[in-house]
Amino acid sequence: DIQMTQFPTTLSASVGDRVTVTCRASQSVSDWLAWYQQKPGKAPKLLISKASTLEGGVPSRFSGSGSGTEFTLSITNLQPDDSATYYCQEYGSLGTFGQGTKLEI
Amino acid sequence: QGQLVQSGAEVRKPGASVKVSCKASGYTFIKYHIGWVRQAPGQGLEWMGWISAYSGDTDYAQRLKGRVTMTTDTSTNTVYMELRNLRGDDTALYYCARGTGGYNYYSLWGQGTMVTVSS
């Protein structure tokens, strides 16, 4: 199975900041990469698919980039509601998730 | 839009089996596949496998092969996930989720089913 390595594990930022989360695949997944947001006690919410395609209703402050083995999720103008754990997932092979990045604001 | 409703919490002893159901509504069941994702308490998401609701074709994560079976019942729009020979580290919240465009990324999720393995 493909391994997905996500970093940092935790991230602390302030309202209005810009943050970046990185996800690295053990082999190329082309652009078959999704990003999710999960809040405590809730199911994950899909933010981005195909590395950079924003899902409907997701604020444009969220953006994704990358291809092959290296991907990033960026969030600009951080809001208190962005406090959550963020996961990447490759779906070019099976569906392996990264370990998650907990964002504290 | 659709909805996935999962069965209720389960408690099992080590070595036992558990079968969790996921009932779909509000969309054409056979047009999408269903994936299963689990999350141990305080831990991250683990992809377990997927099943085609139409054909019943499956694929499973390597580490679970031999212990997990996913099945589909098109007469009731329900998918099942059975996990056998349970261990303590199988204690987790189990989610079903609907695949998108034939791929294993998920925009529709069930509410989760807590499975506790304890002697």
pLDDT, one tens digit per residue, over A13-57 is: 999 999 999 999 999 999 999 999 999 999 999 999 999 999 999
pLDDT at B101: 80
Give the gap in angstroms from C-alpha A105 to the nearest C-alpha of chain B: 19
Contact B105 A38 (CB under 8 A): no
The verdict on a CB contact (< 8 Å) between B106 and A44 is yes
B96-107: per-residue pLDDT in tens? 999 988 888 999
In chain A, pLDDT over 90 holds for what percent of residues?
Answer: 95
Residues of chain B neighbouring A94 (CB-CB closer than 8 A): 47, 49-50, 59, 61, 104
Of A43, A44, A95, the CB nearest to B50: A95
What are the percentages of helix, strand and coil residues in chain B, rounded to 5?
A: 10, 55, 35
| Residue pair B17/B10 in contact by the 8 Å Cβ criterion | no
- What does the alpha-carbon distance between residue B6 and residue B96 come to, in Å, rounded to a whole number? 8
Q: Is the dihedral of CA A70, B50, B63, B37 positive or negative?
A: positive
Tens-digit pLDDT profile for residues B27-84:
999 999 999 999 999 999 999 999 999 899 999 999 999 999 999 999 999 999 999 9
Q: How far is the alpha carbon of A73 from chain B, nearest alpha carbon, in Å?
A: 16
Look at A98 and B46 and tell me if their CB atoms are within 8 Å: no
C-beta neighbour count of A58 within 10 angstroms: 16
Strands B3-6 and B18-25 come out as antiparallel
Mean pLDDT of B3-26: 97
Note whether A61 and A16 are within 8 A (CB). Answer: no
- State residue A93's pLDDT score: 86
Tell me what pLDDT residue A92 has: 87
Burial track B19-43 (b if 16+ CB lie within 10 A, e otherwise): ebbbbbeeeebeebbbbbbbbeeee
For residue range B74-97, list pLDDT tens digits in order.
Answer: 999 999 999 999 999 999 999 999
- The residues, ordered by sequence, that sit 6+ positions from A35 with a Cβ below 8 Å of its Cβ are A23, A46, A47, A48, A62, A64, A73, A86, A87, A88, A89
If you average pLDDT over residues A96-102, what whole number do you get?
96
At CB < 8 A and 24+ separation, what contacts does B51-59 make?
B51/B79, B53/B24, B53/B29, B53/B77, B53/B79, B54/B30, B59/A94
